[in-house]
């Protein structure tokens, strides 16, 4: 039986107009067996919304399906609110605080992102169905202008080869982000099932990404407490 929903498992509205910036933090996990303990430690850091800092709009924890990574996605109403909550802007300035050295996890990396574009799937689906797989990919870029040009070109290439309908079975949405400093791109997608996501990545995105120079660092995530 799934765990009851908590703030750390409620799926975020990734293109929410209330979100001015999203902080994405990843923890590499030393061993798959310890992933849940790391995820629960991260989730516990923000479990009580009553203690959230001013400006925090959402807090969600994800776990990589291979057992190698834990990811926290937080949304903030302003960059100032995020900066005040982090107490700095370095990669070790995480939120929740105090999680830079978790047993069983490596050094976390935190990057603030702006939501850039959302691309919605159009295949018919049960309107009550919720996403269960969240493919995440990070890519390095030179600056904001280069990031926008790369993302726009990537989507244009996909439309040339696949059409603009995007009726991919199981695809709900792809949310494209650009880091505040413009030096990183994040693709965060929502799918009904991991099998559908994997098939799509292999058939559609890997050829497109190869054309545009590499495949980035790819993880497949699910909500931490959505597992039995």
Domain boundary, last residue among 93, 113, 133:
113
Predicted TM-score (pTM) of this structure: 0.89
Helix (H, G, I), strand (E, B) or coil at 193: coil
Owner of token pair 């991919």: 168
Q: Among 61, 70, 64, 73, which Cα is nearest to 28's? A: 70
The string of DSSP codes covering 39-80 is HHHHHHTT--GGGPPTTEEEEEEEEETTSSEEEEEEEES-HH
For 168-211, how does the pLDDT look when each residue is reduced to its tens digit (9 = 90+)? 999 999 999 999 999 999 999 999 988 899 899 888 888 888 77
Together in a domain, 207 and 122 = yes
Which of residues 89 and 157 earns the better pLDDT score?
157
Q: Is 133 among the domain residues?
A: yes
For 79-109, how does the pLDDT look when each residue is reduced to its tens digit (9 = 90+)? 999 999 988 666 557 888 888 889 999 999 9
Whole-angstrom Cα distance, residue 63 to residue 28? 10
Q: What residues form DSSP beta bridges with 76?
A: 21, 56
Q: What pLDDT does 97 receive?
A: 84
Cα-based distances in Å from 106 to 28, 34, 110, 112, 138: 5, 12, 13, 20, 18
Q: Is 5 among the domain residues?
A: no
Together in a domain, 217 and 119 = yes
The domain spanning residue 39 has which CATH number? 3.30.70.100
- Both tokens assigned to 137: 């990919």
Together in a domain, 119 and 215 = yes
Q: For the residues 1-5, what does the mean pLDDT come to?
A: 39
Q: Among 94, 90, 75, which Cα is nearest to 25's? A: 94
In this structure, how many other beta carbons lie within 10 angstroms of the beta carbon of residue 222? 16
pLDDT band at 213 (very low <50, low <70, confident <90, very high): low
Q: For the residues 24-45, what does the mean pLDDT come to?
A: 90
Q: What pLDDT does 56 receive?
A: 94
Together in a domain, 64 and 87 = yes
Together in a domain, 107 and 121 = no
pLDDT of residue 32 exceeding 90: no
Together in a domain, 124 and 67 = no
Q: Is 198 among the domain residues?
A: yes
Which of residues 148 and 100 earns the better pLDDT score?
148
Helix (H, G, I), strand (E, B) or coil at 137: strand
The string of DSSP codes covering 147-169 is HHHHHHHHHHHHHHHH-S----T
Domain boundary, last residue among 78, 113, 148:
113
Alpha-helical (H) ranges within the chain are: 35-44, 79-86, 144-162, 194-200, 206-211
- Work out how many domains the chain is built from and give that number: 2
pLDDT of residue 216 exceeding 70: no
| Structural domain harbouring 60 | 21-113
Which of residues 11 and 25 earns the better pLDDT score?
25
170 Ramachandran zone, left/alpha/beta (phi>0; psi -120 to 50): left
Together in a domain, 89 and 161 = no
Q: Is 209 among the domain residues?
A: yes
pLDDT of residue 132 exceeding 70: yes
Whole-angstrom Cα distance, residue 131 to residue 126? 11
């Amino acid at each position: 039986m799934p765990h009851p929903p908590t703030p750390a498992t409620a799926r975020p509205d990734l293109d929410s107009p209330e979100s001015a910036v999203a902080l994405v933090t990843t923890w590499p996990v030393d061993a798959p067996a310890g992933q849940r303990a790391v995820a629960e430690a991260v989730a516990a850091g923000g479990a009580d919304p009553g203690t959230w800092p001013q400006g925090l709009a959402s807090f969600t924890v994800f776990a990589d399906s291979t057992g190698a990574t834990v990811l926290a996605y937080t949304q903030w109403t302003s960059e100032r609110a995020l900066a005040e909550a982090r107490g700095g802007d370095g990669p070790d300035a995480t939120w929740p605080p105090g999680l830079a050295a978790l047993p069983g996890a490596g050094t976390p990396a935190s990057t603030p992102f702006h939501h850039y574009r959302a691309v919605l799937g159009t295949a018919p689906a049960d309107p009550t169905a919720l996403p269960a797989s969240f493919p995440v990919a990070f890519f390095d870029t030179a600056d904001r202008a280069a990031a926008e040009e790369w993302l726009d070109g990537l989507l244009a290439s996909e439309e040339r080869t696949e059409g603009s309908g995007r009726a991919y079975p199981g695809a709900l949405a792809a949310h494209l982000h650009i880091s505040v400093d413009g030096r990183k791109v994040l693709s965060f997608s929502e799918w009904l099932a991991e099998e559908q996501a994997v098939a799509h990545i292999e058939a559609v995105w890997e050829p497109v990404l190869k054309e545009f120079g590499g495949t980035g660092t790819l993880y497949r995530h699910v909500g931490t407490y959505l597992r039995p």
